[in-house]
Each structure stands twice: as C-alpha cells, then as structure tokens.
Amino acid sequence: MAKIQRWFTQHGNPILVVAGTLTVIGWLMQHLADQGLIANGAYGIATLVVGLPIIFKAISALRARVMSIELLVSIAVVGAVAILEFEEAAMVTFLFAFGNFLEQRTLQKTHQAIQNLTEMQPTTATMVFDGQYQEVEIDEVDEGAVLVVRVGDQVPVDGEIISGSAEVDEALITGESKLVDKTTGDQAYMGSIVENGQILVQAQKVGEDTTFGKIIELVEEAQDNQAPMSKFIDRFAKYYTPFVLVVAILILLLTKNLRLAITILVLACPGALVIGAPVSNVAGIGRGAKAGILIKGGDVIDQLAQVDTILFDKTGTVTEGRPTVKSIKEYQEDHWLALAADLEKQTNHPLARSIVEYYEKRGQKTTADFNLPITTIKGIGIQSEYQGQTIWIGSRRVLTENRIELTAQQARDLQAIENDGQSIVLMTVDQKLVLMVGLVDQVRKGVKETFEKLKQSGIDKQWMLTGDNSFIAEKIAKTIGINQVKAQMLPEEKALFLEQLQNDGRHVLFVGDGINDSPSIAKANVGIAMGNGTDVAIETSDVVLIDSDFSNIQNARRVAKATMRNTMQNVGIAIGTVALLLIGVAYGWVNMASGMLFHEISILVVIFNAMRLLRMKF
C-alpha cells in the first residue's frame, strides 16, 4: 500500500485533472445527453482514481487511532457506490481532493532557500605559508591560519585583521549597503567582500561556526521546526466523524434501512466544509496578489491574523537601501562638484554613485570628462591630481590623513550633518576642504503611518533591529515613530531576540530584505520579505511584498483577518447545511437526490461568499 500511496502522491496533480474532467463529462452525459451508462462509467473511474488516496489516508489514520475526515468521506463514497449513486460518489471525492490541492499548492519552495545560501559560501581561500600564497579548499582552513583577502575576494572565515586595511561590503552579514572601513585589529566576517584594499586575516571561526554558517544553520532549523498549523477541519473531524458514524449505525439498526443510513452518511459529508477554508484562503491570497502581496498558503493567513509583535530590519526595509544626497556644502565657487562626480564615477561605492546621480540630476547633465586617473586609498577614499593640485575624496579620515584644520564654520557644518545621522563624504584640494556632502538612506513612503495603523490594530510591540550604529538607528526610529531599537546586531542576535519574544508568548512578525534577515524571517511566526530583497529572504518568507510597498504590511494583515472571518462564515454555512439536511431526512422532507442538490447549492454559496474577498478595498 505504501508504494501505491507514493505513486498517487507523485502523480497527484494529473490525477486530479483527469478526475475533474471525467466528472464534468459524466455530468454532461447524464444531464444533457441522457447517456446514463457513459456517465456512470466516467463517474466510476473518477471516483476510483481520486478516492483510493483518500481511503489509504483513512486507513493510515485508523492505524494511528485517529478517526479523520477521510474516514467519513471514504465510508460515504463506498456507500454511495453500493447503492449506485455514482454522481454523488464522484462529486464528494473530487471536491475533497480539490480542496487539499488548493491548500498545498503554494507551499513548495521553502527548502530551496537553504541551497541558495549554501551556494553563496566561499569555496576556496588563499593561505599564507612562509610568505608564499597558496590557494586551498575552504575545508582545509583551520583556526589560527593566516589568509590573504584581496580586492573582489570573499572573506572565507571569521577572524581578526592582523595586517592591512580595506573597504569591505558586509551586506551579506549586516544588511547595510554602505562599505565599512576595516583595519588592523578589526573583525572580518565570512561572506563579506573586499571592495578596496588588501588584508591579512587570522582565522578564529571556520565553517559552520562562522557568522554566515550560523545564518544557514538558523534558517534550516527554523524551517524544519516550523510545522504547519493543524487545520480546523482536522480538529472538527476528530469529533464529527465518529458522531456521524454512530448516528448512521443507529439509524440502520433501528430502521433496517441501508439506503437511509447511507443517505445520512452522504448528506452528512460536509462538502462545503471541505472546500470552505481552501476557497476562502485562495480568494484571500488572490486579493493580496492583486495588491502586490504574495501570501504563501492558508497556514500563513491563520498565523498572520494572530500577530501581536513586529520586528523589522532598517536598511532596505523601512529605508530604500539607496543613499541619496541630503546636504552639500561648497566652500569655494569653482567646479569642484563636477570634478568630484567625474572621479567618483570611476568607483562602485554606493555613496560615490549617489554623488554622481545628484550632480547629474541637479545640473541635468552628465559628468564632465576630465580623464583623471585615481588611486584608491585603503579605508579612506580616492586620491588624484588636477592641474598640479592634490585631490582627496573620502570619509572623515581624509582630514586626519592630511592634517587638515577646519574653519569654525566648517566644523559646525560637519557636526550638524553628523548629528543628523548622515554619512559624510569630504573633498579636499591641496589640504583645504572645498566640498562636504551628507548622504542619507531615505525612509520609504508611508512607513510611519503604517506603524501607527498596525499599533491601532493590536500590534503594540514594535522593534527595529539593525546592524547599523545606534546613532543613525535612533534617528531613523524617531523619524518613523518607533521608540524600541536594537542596533549593531548580528543575524544570530536578531534571531535569538525574536525567539525570546516567542517564548514569552508573543506571535512575532519579522520584516526584512537581506540574506542576513533570512534566519529571523524563517523563525518568525510570519516572515515578510520586501520584493526588492534577496532571493533567499524572499524564499524563506511567508509573505512577499512584490512591489516593496511598506503599507502592504498592514494590508496583508487586513487580508488575513478578513479571510479568517470569511472562513468561519463558510464553516457556519457548511455545518448549518448539514444540520438542516439531517433534520430534513429525519422528517422525510429530503432524499439523497434533493439533499445533494442542496449540498451543491451550499457549495456555490460558500464559493460566492469567498469571492467577496476579491472585492475587498484598502
């Protein structure tokens, strides 16, 4: 039986299509062409191909001492076939199988994320032996080994920089888009990329013990432990199935009427209940998709409706993830901004790109072509020569490197820009500051309003978790109306904090966009990923905001709550229909044919009720 079950599982979708087609053919032959023999043949084959998996599940449940809804469906179907009601048998089995298909269809890509993460790990490292460089497999690197990491290389371990300096992209770990200056004594993390400079790193953690290794481990653990919530219908069947069987047996014993007993079983089989939850979920998922909200299944809707706490990343989530120029101070009336833009366009630094974009938008022209070569100065910026003058463009360290004294006004400007939480780019010419640029990552539209609406709807705990420094984090938090912030957090720290809240009984929603967010997205009761985020974050998430519209977080929750209400309405319709039919049978008002007609009407009512969700307005 196990082999047959596996075969049905592997070919479930084609079998369902065949059964549906045969059921439609049977109905047409019976009601329009008056070809009863052909109709019964089509119904019989449809019942057989879809009914066998249901019967096998019922038997497996019985072995585990569970009277599942599959048992009731199986007995009803067998009984309907026994009294030659083939149409009812085909309808019951197809509707039941189709409901399960709708429920499972959107939950197939989760574990692909782990494979994607694994493929991002460095596979080789360049080890230093007696002053010589040797490329080795990453598995050959032990703690204490010294490795050289050059421009464009990924750091293969977690360790301490013992020599050199570089600008490092740590977005894979922290989620921050800006480059980080690293020098002797600083920590380097596996998976980060050296953009400028060269460093020697002494390995302290390797393989699964690294920060990036723990990201993979946390994602895998969260996915394995995040079992689907028990469906309402399973809980209902625990009591409903034995109750109906007892009633049918009593009727058979008291009346000696097998057809009546089977009629009770067929009419008591809750067809509208079987599809009630799935059709509501599909309608809710469809309404979300129309608004750019991809909800991955009915279990997600259930969990999303219960959320009372929200945690969220900063960069790329509440902010755009693209720095823009906010402040600019020019201390000489000359073409220094044009020269700065021309030099910066030769680098791939995010802040440099922002300055080029600012210049071109402000002047509505492209950068001038000075044809000046640049030299990258590790951990500082770039240097060039122009008409016999030495040009420097870079971070605040440009000032200390060249021993430049600021005027009182320049010092006040610098302090004001930094106090505003902006990143600084300075340009000096022959040891004089000529240009000061402040850049900021813009907050997404509607973020503050969304948090206020979420708070009003019952999500009273709202935390921003970020790898950025506390000053900038607090500044962003104040802008969006959040007073609970945790800054300079690594991915495992975010996931641990989330788990602590869950242990306290909170239902946690996590919103993020980066690879570093994926452990928390996977571990949360509901994980939401921005559509412009990484593939890993999107695939580990339960909800994807396709167009990265932050207000859709609130809309997603509204869809979830409306879908849950709609589901309970459908459950009420289904149970009410069954109750009325059984009363009708008891008083002789309803037979199997008229009962099935009412069953089909109740199914249509359930479907039309669910379709109201598609017209839901935000």
Q: Residue 127: helix, strand or coil by DSSP?
A: strand
CB 321 within 8 A of CB 177: yes
CB 129 within 8 A of CB 319: no
CB 244 within 8 A of CB 265: yes
Q: Which ranges of 125-203 would DSSP assign to H, the alpha helix?
A: 171-174
CB 493 within 8 A of CB 472: no
CB 92 within 8 A of CB 80: yes
- β-bridge mates for residue 205, sequence order: 158
Complete edge-to-edge strand list for the sheet that includes strand 319-330? 319-330, 432-443, 423-429, 389-394, 381-386, 375-377
Q: Residue 505: helix, strand or coil by DSSP?
A: coil
C-alpha pair distances (Å), 435 with each of 20, 345, 431: 71, 17, 12
Q: Which two tokens stand for residue 318?
A: 């509440």
Whole-number Å distance between alpha carbons of 514 and 318: 12
From the list 313, 441, 513, 542, the catalytic residue is 313
- 236-274 b/e with 16+ CB inside 10 Å = b? bbeebbeebbeebeebbeeeeeeebbbbbbbbbbbbbbb
CB 204 within 8 A of CB 221: no
Whole-number Å distance between alpha carbons of 593 and 392: 88
342 is annotated as an active-site residue: no
Whole-number Å distance between alpha carbons of 252 and 79: 13
Q: Residue 363: helix, strand or coil by DSSP?
A: helix
Give the chain's largest Cα–Cα span: 111
CB 583 within 8 A of CB 331: no
DSSP string across 423-477 = EEEEEEETTEEEEEEEEEEEEPTTHHHHHHHHHHTT--EEEEE-SS-HHHHHHHH
Mind telling me the catalytic residues?
Answer: 313
